[in-house]
Structure 1
Amino acid sequence: MTYLQQPIQEIETIPEVSPADTVIETTESHNSWIEEVEIDFVAKIKKILFTLWRKIIEIRNRNLNEENVPQSHREDQIERVRLYHVWPGKNVFYFKGLLICGPDPRRLLLTTVSISLSSLVFIVYVTKDVPKISLCVLLTLIVFANLLMVSVIDPGIIPRNNELPSPESTQNGRVRSKRVFINGSKLKLKYCRICRIYRPARSCHCIVCDNCVDKFDHHCPWIGQCIGLRNYRLYVLLLVIANVYFVYIFVFSCLKIQQKNGGNGLIGLVRDCPETLVLACFSFVGACFVGGLACYHFYLIATNQTAYENFRQQYGSTKNPFDKGFVTNIKEVLFSPWTHSRINFRSEM
């Protein structure tokens, strides 16, 4: 049997579909998809609104409950106030109580600007020698670091007392002072009405900072901080370094003026190098002032006095009970162990 003679197999017939029916089915499926998306979107919006409304109700109920909670229970939930927030003195605190300055930090800013301008004029107008400039920059950085340390640490503030003096210690409305013996000498401890304490020996209440400071020396207006037990040796070191700095600038400024001076006198110097002349005058005044102050404090260290005691002549007619000899005085003032602060200004109230 040939190929053509084979029986013809039955073929399943496929119904014909018109283009119009195809369009109708596509449109219906598209519309149903849009309806599903709309229903899903509306459901999500309802869910979001319901969640938001529930949060609002929870916050409202929480506030009502907090109003009805006693003060003792509420304090556990509120962040406690730190001591430097409510300290009654006039100090200014920075970095959450880590740094403590005097009531007027602008004095410190003025001192910093004066030293910075001196170094800038020296570098720009006096010399172009790299070693001289490097040494000037190094001295400037050391002065700034020491100045910052003196002005931002606790000078030795004594903690205050919140209790009133006992009736036994008062007489005619005034608190009687105490008498103590130190190294065989009788000293009087006065009562501070502001801090409500008996001030220790060699301490004083600073009227600028409004604090009692242990071993009070003076309140330095150029730093804006009290000088006391904890920052006195840093203050003396600052005087020495600052004196070296001003002498260094003065010497090289004079050498520059000598090179520029062509026999024209003062008028020629003002015309040729006015910046160097002004810097030389400023550094000379600074060296004389800081040098004289350093010599005065060396005398106080050798005799174991404070500037406050020397100014008031407290040991003029009596023997100084703290004077233990030249060498011992220097060791006690400059090389004694570091005294920790009596107050933690970051402590919680």
Structure 2
Amino acid sequence: MNDIENGQIEDEDVPLSPNEVKQLKRKKGSQYCFWFRNDEPLITIGPHWPFPLFLTVVLILGTYYIGFIFYKSDILFRIVQSCSGLFLILTFLITALKNQGINYKSSNTAFTEHWCSICSMHKSKGTIHCKDCNICIRGYDHHCIWIGKCVGEGNQFAFNVFILAFLVFFLINYVLLLI
């Protein structure tokens, strides 16, 4: 077990309070973790947090512009466009905030081929250490700067739904533009 989990600091034998242990768990690598369930974070913010913040503003303003300023037509078109835009923004926020599969399981096993020397943790199969996030990610797919963190086991489905919502949004707006 690492020092955070057993509640002790390496240099001192003074046990930490549960609040202090929780504070130490909030920052894992370059990730900020929030809302824990069973010692797994539900919401994480990655090291490139300005990019998803910027993209959220662009999506909100762009959807508003397309739906209410650009289209001067029937209310039905605005409703369809607004619903697709809202779905796009919600799927993006879920993808950008959802835990991507941070490896929180540690082990006292000796150094093996499944040991991350940087995180000092045992890695399960498919877990890869991301140099940008400075943490091991289960089911690592890639690091996406636009969501500000990695795509992994925890947010892979949400990422795929976001890409689909992105395509649907632009297809709907292209069709509405032609009508």
TM value normalised by structure 1: 0.41
Matching of residue 197 in structure 1 with residue 121 in structure 2: yes
Structure 1 position 229 matched with structure 2 position 168 = no
Q: What's the offset of the Cα at 1:118?
A: 2.0
Return closer, same or farther for 1:239/1:105 CA change in 2, 3 Å cut-off: same
Q: What is the DSSP-based 3-state SS (H/G/I as helix, E as strand, rest coil) of the residue aligned with 1:100? A: strand
Shift of 1:133: 0.6
Q: 1:151 — aligned with what?
A: 96
Q: Structure 1, residues 275-308: CA drift from partner, whole Å, max 9, x if none?
A: xxxxxxxxxxxxxxxxxxxxxxxxxxxxxxxxxx
What is residue 52 of structure 2 aligned with on the other side? 108
Match of 1:91 in 2: 31
1:220 CA displacement: 1.1
Secondary structure of residue in 1 paired with 2:119: coil
Structure 2 contact 107–122 (Cα < 8 Å) conserved: no
CA-CA distance at 1:211 after TM superposition: 1.1
Specify which structure has the bigger relative contact order, considering alpha-carbon pairs within 8 angstroms and separated by 6 or more residues.
Answer: 2
- Write the distance in 2 (CA, Å) between the matches of 1:196 and 1:82: 18
Q: Distance in 1 between matches of 2:55 and 2:97?
A: 14
Q: How does 1:41-60 map to 2 (within 5 A)?
A: none
Residues 1:193 and 1:79: Cα distance change in structure 2 (over 3 Å): closer
**What amino acid is the match of 2:30?**
K
Q: 8 Å contact 2:47–2:132 — kept in the other structure?
A: yes
Structure 1 runs (4+) greater than 6 angstroms displaced: none
RMSD (CA atoms): 2.7
List runs of 5+ in structure 2 lacking aligned partners. Answer: 1-13
Higher strand proportion, which one? 2
- Aligned identity (percent) is 21
User: What SS does the corresponding residue of 1:99 show, helix, strand or coil?
Assistant: strand
8 Å CA contact retained: 1:160, 1:196 = no
Deviations along 1:298-324, whole A, 9 cap, x unmatched? xxxxxxxxxxxxxxxxxxxxxxxxxxx
Count matched residues: 160
Q: Which has the larger radius of gyration?
A: 1
Instruction: Find the partner of 1:81 among 12, 20, 29.
Output: 20
2:105–2:122 contact (8 Å) kept in structure 1: no
2:147 pairs with 1:208: no
State how far apart, in whole Å, the 1-side matches of 2:76 and 2:94 are.
Answer: 27
Q: Structure 1: give runs of 5+ residues left out of the alignment.
A: 1-70, 167-174, 178-189, 257-349
CA distance 1:216–1:98, shift in 2 (3 Å): closer
Q: TM-score, structure 2 length as denominator?
A: 0.75
Residue 80 of structure 2 corresponds to which residue in structure 1?
135
Would you say the 8 A contact 1:157–1:214 is kept in 2?
yes
Opposite residue 80 of structure 1, the aligned amino acid is N
**Cα drift, residue 215 of structure 1:** 0.8
Measure the CA separation in 1 of the matches of 2:130 and 2:101: 12
Deviation at 1:208, TM superposition (A): 1.3
Preserved contact between residue 100 and residue 137 of structure 2 (Cα < 8 Å): yes
> In the alignment, residue 101 of structure 1 is paired with which amino acid?
I
Residue number in structure 2 paired with 1:246: 170
Secondary structure (helix, strand or coil) at the match of 1:148 reads helix
3-state DSSP of counterpart to 1:248: helix
